[in-house]
């Protein structure tokens, strides 16, 4: 139990003992860190008690403060300032905490909740490669999965592959028309990039056909619906859904090329999945559910044969679930997928990592499943995140202006290489070690920058800023960790030493401000991790770890370790930096970011 929870527990006990006739809800007991301008470590907020107890804050604060001093061995002093009870925690408490946890590699990992949670992320289309916009989704999904797992949940990482639909047929029809039998192997182009090139070619051909039709007198709106290449793609989709062997064979071949490319990219990113779902499977289940909903009058069928749901009573509109020609739409397959995921894994929570452009879509999906009274409905949670842009603006894949994820990773590694070489920090590394270091720095910078912003907010990604050694970056944290590892090497101490070598430690002097600040930060780590899980917000871990690195730098600037005043101080400071490095590794590892031992 953290010190905050301990204080809350004893404070609730104090209120019950001191004021037995009053009813004070547990939620009214709030404990925060004491503001730096006041004496103390933690502050109990007294305002929620004033109306209930009908006493002045000083009287209530004095009574609770005295109780805490008497009934704990860690509250040594208190002061009352304008409705706040500021508590001072003993140095012995912090020293004992440190000695008990400094070699605990599981510190921050919590016991099982018994809950099954699925996190769906990435969800690419098989008509193009992963692009830069996917990276925030992928890193957010992977980090959130890890945070939930560390906080005791049974996590299933899933990927829904959008492997069917008109967009897939567009790449297929373009390959038929323009490829002359070319393959990724014959061209030397990575499979997902190869197929994506034909999606762009489709769009170029479509634009040209529309222009030609308009030049011959057709209305632009008509031309955009009747361009021959679009009609061919629509016919291909109908044949695919009908099971045409030739079309299905081409679809399997081209999707296979894309999957091979995706696997290479995922491995490089350091992400993985426990389950893969394919819309080509789940859309059939979705169509069955739509028919069931129609039979139960949950849905309605219009005169042209299309099937809809009316959500006007919920303040929305009517949503199409199946086209008049019987083909499915996105929501159809999403209904099927939601049900299949729930049945496969007995889910308590199903988290969808999807951009905020799909807020309406996800709202409709949940409402449909609730109206169908399906048990999966209430566990659906949309982890909505803001779009990420480059300084040059938005990207459009159909116009070929998108930045590929592979290219962005290459660029980040190249920047890491350039900055390291310019700083003259390549001595003592082999070529292989340097290659690994550049990848660790480059990809770490990319992941951290995309995760450090609250998911709900839109953001602009600046490659050079993301790798600034002195900025709010992974590079700053990586350097602090490498600095600690260097100190430990010089002291000939392992990163995780034998705790017995510190068993005789006994705090004989007061903690300095820098020592205490770092220990307090370390003690708060499990709460930060839990908050990140509760809020579905990995950026809390980014902020915490960055501040931890700042506290370490301040501590190291203020104090020598090798030339400490005495053995006791040296042991104390070694335990502090050993635990600091361990917590950094745990936090950043949860985010999917590696920390080098030297830089």
Angle between helices 330-345 and 279-295 in degrees, nearest 10? 100
pLDDT of the residue at 427: 85
Q: From residue 149, how far is each of 87, 118, 250, 345, 588 by CA, in Å? A: 34, 11, 39, 16, 14
CB under 8 Å to 204, separation ≥6 — which residues?
none
505: three-class secondary structure by DSSP: coil
**DSSP state, 33?**
E
Give pLDDT tens digits for 549-562: 999 999 999 999 98
Q: Give the span between the Cα atoms of 410 and 266, in whole angstroms.
A: 14
Tell me the fold of 3-89: Gyrase A; domain 2 (3.30.1360)
Domain 3-89 and domain 405-590, same fold? Reply is no
pLDDT of the residue at 398: 44
Query: Is 162 in contact with 126 (CB distance < 8 Å)?
Result: yes
What is the rounded average pLDDT of the residues 41-69?
A: 93
Q: Give the span between the Cα atoms of 119 and 255, in whole angstroms.
A: 23
Reference 138, options 123, 156, 128, 118; nearest CA is 123
pLDDT of the residue at 397: 42
Q: Provide the CATH number for the domain formed by 121-399 in this structure.
A: 3.40.50.620
Token reading at 136: 């925030």
pLDDT of the residue at 1: 82
Q: Give the span between the Cα atoms of 366 and 381, in whole angstroms.
A: 9
346 φψ region: left (φ > 0), alpha (ψ -120 to 50), beta (else):
left
Cα-flanking dihedrals φ and ψ of residue 308, to 5°?
-135, 165
- Computed over its alpha carbons, how large is the radius of gyration of the chain? 29
Instruction: Please count the other Cβ atoms lying within 10 Å of the Cβ belonging to residue 332.
Output: 25
Q: From residue 131, how far is each of 362, 375, 391 by CA, in Å? A: 22, 35, 16
pLDDT of the residue at 223: 95
Tokens 């049945």 belong to residue: 343
Tokens 């936090």 belong to residue: 587
**pLDDT band at 393, cuts 50/70/90?**
low
What is the rounded average pLDDT of the residues 145-158?
A: 98
DSSP 33-68: EPPTTSSSSEEEE-HHHHHHHTS-HHHHHHHHHHHH
pLDDT of the residue at 400: 45
Return the sign of the alpha-carbon dihedral for residues 40, 509, 526, 555.
positive
pTM: 0.90
Q: Is the predicted pLDDT of residue 399 greater than 60, yes or no?
A: no
Q: From residue 359, how far is each of 139, 156, 302, 342, 454 by CA, in Å? A: 20, 23, 26, 21, 17
Q: Give the span between the Cα atoms of 65 and 67, in whole angstroms.
A: 5
428: three-class secondary structure by DSSP: coil
Give pLDDT tens digits for 9-40: 999 999 999 999 888 888 899 999 999 889 99
Query: Is 83 in contact with 45 (CB distance < 8 Å)?
Result: yes
Q: Give the span between the Cα atoms of 465 and 278, in whole angstroms.
A: 38
Give pLDDT tens digits for 326-338: 878 889 889 999 9
Q: Is the predicted pLDDT of residue 165 greater than 90, yes or no?
A: no
| Proportion of the chain above pLDDT 90, given as a percent | 79
Q: From residue 404, how far is each of 30, 132, 165, 262, 582 by CA, in Å? A: 47, 5, 22, 12, 34
Token reading at 173: 């029809």
165 φψ region: left (φ > 0), alpha (ψ -120 to 50), beta (else):
left
Per-residue three-class SS string for 479-506: HHHHHHHHHHHHCCCCCCCCHHHHCCCC
Give pLDDT tens digits for 213-247: 999 999 999 999 999 999 999 999 999 988 999 99
**DSSP state, 190?**
-
Tokens 């006493």 belong to residue: 55
**DSSP state, 189?**
-
Q: Per-domain residue ranges for the chain? A: 3-89, 121-399, 405-590
Q: Give the span between the Cα atoms of 333 and 282, in whole angstroms.
A: 5
Q: Is the predicted pLDDT of residue 469 greater than 70, yes or no?
A: yes
Q: Is the predicted pLDDT of residue 396 greater than 70, yes or no?
A: no
**DSSP state, 38?**
S
Give pLDDT tens digits for 278-327: 988 888 888 899 999 999 999 999 999 999 999 999 999 999 998 888 87
**pLDDT band at 401, cuts 50/70/90?**
low
DSSP 255-297: HHHHHHHHHHHHHHHT---SEEEEHHHHHHHHHHHHHHHHHTT
Domain 405-590 indexed as CATH 3.40.50.300: no
The vertex-478 CA angle with 476 and 484, nearest 5°, equals 105
**DSSP state, 390?**
B
In angstroms, how far apart are the furthest CA atoms of the chain?
93
DSSP 288-302: HHHHHHHHTTSSEE-
Helices vs. strands in the chain: H and E counts, helices first: 21, 14
């Amino acid at each position: 139990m953290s010190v905050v929870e301990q204080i809350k527990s004893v404070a609730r006990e104090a209120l019950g003992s001191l004021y037995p006739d009053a009813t004070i809800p547990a939620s009214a007991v709030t404990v925060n860190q004491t503001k730096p301008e006041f004496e103390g470590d933690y502050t109990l907020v007294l305002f929620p008690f004033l109306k209930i107890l009908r006493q002045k804050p000083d009287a209530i604060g004095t009574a609770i403060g005295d109780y805490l001093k008497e009934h704990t061995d860690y509250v040594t002093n208190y002061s009352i300032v304008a409705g706040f009870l500021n508590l001072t925690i003993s140095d012995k408490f912090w020293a004992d905490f440190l000695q008990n946890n400094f070699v605990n590699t599981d510190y921050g990992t919590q016991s099982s909740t018994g809950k099954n949670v699925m996190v769906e992320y990435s969800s690419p289309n098989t008509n193009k490669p992963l692009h830069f916009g996917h990276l925030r989704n992928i890193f957010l999904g992977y980090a959130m999965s890890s945070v939930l797992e560390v906080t005791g949940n049974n996590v299933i990482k899933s990927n829904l592959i959008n492997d069917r639909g008109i967009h897939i047929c567009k790449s297929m029809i373009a390959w038929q028309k323009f490829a002359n039998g070319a393959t990724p192997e014959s061209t030397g182009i990575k499979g997902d990039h190869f197929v994506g090139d034909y999606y762009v070619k489709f769009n170029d051909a479509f634009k040209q056909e529309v222009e030609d039709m308009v030049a011959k007198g057709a209305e632009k709106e008509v031309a955009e619906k009747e361009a021959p290449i679009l009609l061919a793609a629509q016919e291909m989709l109908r044949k695919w859904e009908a099971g045409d062997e030739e079309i299905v064979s081409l679809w399997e071949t081209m999707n296979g090329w894309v999957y091979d490319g995706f696997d290479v990219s995922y491995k490089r990113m350091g992400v993985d999945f426990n389950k893969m779902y394919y819309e080509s499977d789940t859309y059939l289940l979705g169509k069955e559910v739509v028919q069931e909903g129609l039979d139960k009058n949950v849905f309605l069928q219009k005169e042209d044969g299309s099937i809809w749901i009316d959500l006007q009573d919920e303040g929305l509109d009517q949503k199409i679930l199946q086209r008049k020609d019987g083909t499915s739409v996105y929501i159809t397959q999403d209904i099927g997928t939601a049900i299949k995921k729930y049945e496969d894994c007995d889910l308590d929570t199903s988290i969808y990592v999807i951009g905020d452009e799909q807020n309406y879509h996800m709202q409709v999906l949940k409402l449909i499943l609730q109206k169908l009274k399906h048990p999966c409905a209430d566990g659906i949670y949309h982890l909505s995140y803001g779009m990420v842009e480059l300084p040059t603006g938005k990207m459009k894949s159909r116009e070929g202006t998108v930045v590929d994820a592979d290219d962005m990773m290459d660029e980040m590694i190249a920047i890491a290489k350039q900055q390291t070489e310019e700083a003259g920090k390549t001595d003592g590394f082999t070529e292989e070690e340097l290659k690994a270091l550049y990848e660790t720095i480059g990809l770490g910078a990319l992941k951290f920058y995309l995760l450090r912003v609250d998911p709900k907010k839109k953001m602009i990604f600046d490659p050079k800023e993301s790798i600034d050694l002195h900025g709010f970056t992974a590079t700053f944290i990586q350097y602090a960790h490498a600095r600690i590892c260097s100190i430990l090497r010089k002291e000939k101490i392992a990163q995780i030493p034998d705790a017995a070598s510190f068993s005789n430690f006994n705090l004989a002097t007061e903690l300095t401000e820098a020592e205490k600040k770092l220990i307090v930060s370390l003690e708060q780590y499990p709460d930060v991790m839990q908050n990140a899980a509760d809020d579905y917000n990995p950026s809390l871990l980014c902020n915490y770890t960055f501040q931890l690195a700042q506290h370490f730098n301040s501590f190291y600037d203020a104090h020598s370790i090798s030339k400490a005043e005495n053995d006791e101080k040296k042991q104390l400071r070694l335990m502090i930096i050993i635990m600091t490095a361990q917590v950094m590794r745990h936090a950043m590892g949860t985010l999917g970011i590696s920390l080098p031992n030297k830089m």
